[in-house]
Structure 1
């Protein structure tokens, strides 16, 4: 089963999924940029309705505590639009970890995540369906991030929830898998994020070879890499037989990303990237693998 903000649903109900997104977020405490505040609820509804119109049916919303998580808002959004929304427990990375958790060790992180996963977030009664996004810095795992990742692994092992990660510019994905599995998290519960930001194909292949899922989840952010390069990597990964481990998304975090403000909107993958994949002769069955089958497996809660 997959835990959404409204209820548990079967994997077959999940449909076309955007695997790593933010609807309600506030990164301005660190970023000092009002563009990184998403707080327009009516705007969120309009953006989700457009996503639904394009064929999207589910979204994994990985805004956690310290990034502006608002699970009651997500519940209202899901009720208003019919889009299945999965919320998260977890903390992001340094320096976004909430002040109350500064200095925590892995066991404290794990205890907090397990409590939210079993008792609900705050007094809302809403359960998270994923642990994440938990992350590391650019080419560096800071001590607090190491404790955070170990805590996520322990909590994932205890609850059966998948763990989805942040890698800064795609770095240290393999090292994240090694750390998470060292502390007992099964590799099929791991989703390594932002791997489309890493231009080093061998490093991304090293992650795939562990058996973990990878997220090509910054699609459309061509200031980092052209989408044509993302397609080329995907073609190679398909040829090598890794198509069952790949998830797609756009990771929108700014007002300027929304259609109402002139951006591409949450349907970016469906509206802009899928046509590029079709032009590259990627079959509809393969697209369904990425958009429907893989997410339905990746975000299913493992039995404990």
Structure 2
């Protein structure tokens, strides 16, 4: 097993403390019509990331894909500047963010394109993605193009062994995503179900965890959706049920206003405030190490290819 970063392959144990779902060079303004959602100033991002590194952060899973302003060359630049492991993504997001040229693609077209990027690199850069993501469903439903996208991503994951990281809009459709993966025989330990800290139904998240999939609590610090105190309550519940080996943490920073310089939570929020609050509730260093380092090592290790 190995992990594919923008600068090449590393051994899983080299990954270190890892944010499982971030954006370092992203532009959602084409759809959102809001310049705040264009976060592409490498110097600003690098400055904010310095605090993440100072708190012990060593790796970022960067889930910006085609249609979201992906630029893997900039990711490689950030990786070198900050001595950070950065994992890039292949795939598309969800309707309506899928690029114009792919909006009528079939699952086979999506699969072929993703496999091509995984095997040959992205856009002539030679930089290979280490994750398929973030692959998204809409609020309480799969749009037709999202069904094709998910099937294409599953085929690519089975063929290449890459982990598959999802987007669930406001936490919805998590079980439906899992059911699709089960039907299509994708091993659930190869799957990260995203945004489950936006799912207020702990019993649903526990059902997802029971399947063997990884669950990402990856919008920490976004208190406009939910307080971090409430997120901590849910996390404690999952830990009490014995799922310390299946949970990943991150903040999903996507806007300029999310940077510390503009009053936002910053890339360091998990390490700066959330983990200390978790420790205050009696969670041991052993469990913290799983959440921050050991679980990402397993989740983002590339499996053997299918025969």
TM range (shorter): over 0.9
130-139 or 176-185, larger mean C-alpha shift: 176-185
Q: Distance in 1 between matches of 2:154 and 2:288?
A: 30
Report matched runs for 1:1-304 at 5 Å.
1-304=2-305
Instruction: Tell me, in whole angstroms, the C-alpha distance in 1 between the residues paired with 2:146 and 2:161.
Output: 21
Cα displacement (A) at 1:181: 2.7
Structure 2 gaps of 5+ residues are none
Q: Which aligned segments of 4 or more residues in structure 1 are displaced greater than 6 angstroms?
A: none
Indicate if the aligned counterparts of 2:222 and 2:265 stay in contact, CA closer than 8 A: no
Shift of 1:202: 1.4
Give the conservation status (yes or no) of the 8 Å contact 1:60–1:86. yes
RMSD across aligned positions (CA): 0.8
CA distance in 1, matches of 2:104, 2:182: 23
What TM-score results when the alignment is normalised by the length of structure 1? 0.99
Partner Cα distance (1:201, 1:226) in 2: 15
TM-score (norm 2): 0.98
> 8 Å contact 1:48–1:83 — kept in the other structure?
no
Partners of 1:149 and 1:180 within 8 A in 2: no
Q: Quick one: distance in 1 between partners of 2:209 and 2:117?
A: 30
Tell whether the 8 Å contact from 1:66 to 1:91 is kept in structure 2 after alignment. Answer: yes
SS in 1 for 2:44: helix
Q: By how many angstroms is 1:20 displaced?
A: 0.1
Gaps of 5+ in 1: none
Q: Deviations over 1:71-104 (max 9, x none)?
A: 0000011011101000000000000001111111
SS of structure 1 residue aligned to 2:245: helix
Equivalent residues of 1:256, 1:263 under 8 A apart: yes
TM superposition shift of 1:282: 0.9
Aligned-residue offset at 1:250: 0.2
CA contact (8 A) 2:133 2:164 kept: yes
Deviation at 1:180, TM superposition (A): 2.0
SS in structure 2 of the partner of residue 242 of structure 1: coil
| Residues 5, 86 of structure 1: 8 Å contact kept | yes
Equivalents in 2 of 1:198, 1:93: separation in Å? 18
Q: Tell me, what secondary structure is at the counterpart of 2:283?
A: coil
Q: Equivalents in 2 of 1:24, 1:235: separation in Å?
A: 32
Aligned residues: 304
